[in-house]
Each structure stands twice: as structure tokens, then as C-alpha cells.
Copies of this chain bind each other. A is one copy, B any other.
Amino acid sequence: MPTPTPGRPVRGSSTGRPLMAALDLFGRRWSLRIVWELQRGPLGFRALQQRCDNMSSSVLRQRLTDLATALVVEQHPDTTYALTPLGHDAYRALRPLVRWSDDWAAALADEKPTSQHG
């Protein structure tokens, strides 16, 4: 399970296009979430795990390795994990998704109202 890297073929794409590598990296479970949770500041392994709804520690370890290899996350001397500058950029790139998810929630609530009276 190699870490996706631009310039080389990745899961689901043989072109090596950076975007495809990014889609592979962030298409892995918990990747987006970890970036999201680290954005507010460095966290220790267990604290991060708790922030991520007590995700499996084995997977967390794997994702941290992936993201560190991808230079998105780094481990500080005090062993906490934090976003690199590149990681913060990734967060900013992902930020419009928050806005979208709110619109999405509104649209879904409109489409199928959750058993409200009217």
C-alpha cells in the first residue's frame, strides 16, 4: 500500500497526474478527517484518535505514515503530530467543502424532510 505520489502511477490511475495522486491520498478513509482535525493545532496520537471518533489505531498509524510521506503531516520533537505548510494549504483547499456540506444538508433536508409534521 504505497503512499500516493505525484509523478508515479497510483491506485486507480496510471498517469501519475498530481491530481490523481491527491485523489488517491484523500480518497483513503480518514485522510480528509485527519487533516481536518489537525488544522486546529498539533495533537498527540491518542488525542488525535479520540478526535477522529476513536478510529482504529492501526489505521491511524497507517494514515499518519501516508500523510507524513506525502509531506502533509509531520511529527514534532514532543511526538505530537501537526500539519506541515503543505498540509495547511491542503486544508485551505478543502475548506470550500464545509460550505458545500451545509448547502448539501439544506438541500437534502428540503428534499426529504425528516418526518416533520407539515
Q: How many copies does the complex hold?
A: 2
Q: Chain B residues near A70 (CB, 8 Å)?
A: 104, 108
B103 A19 Cβ-Cβ under 8 A: no
- Interchain CA distance A103-B103 in the complex, whole Å: 29
- How far is the CB of A19 from the nearest CB of chain B, in Å? 5
Q: Is the interface of A mostly helix, strand, loop or mixed?
A: helix
Contact B93 A96 (CB under 8 A): yes
Shortest A72–chain B CB gap in Å is 8
Residues of A whose CB lies within 8 Å of any CB of B are 5-7, 12-14, 18-23, 26-33, 36, 52-53, 55, 70-72, 86, 89-90, 92-105, 107-109, 111, 114
Closest 4 CB pairs of A and B: A6-B105, A18-B105, A22-B101, A93-B96
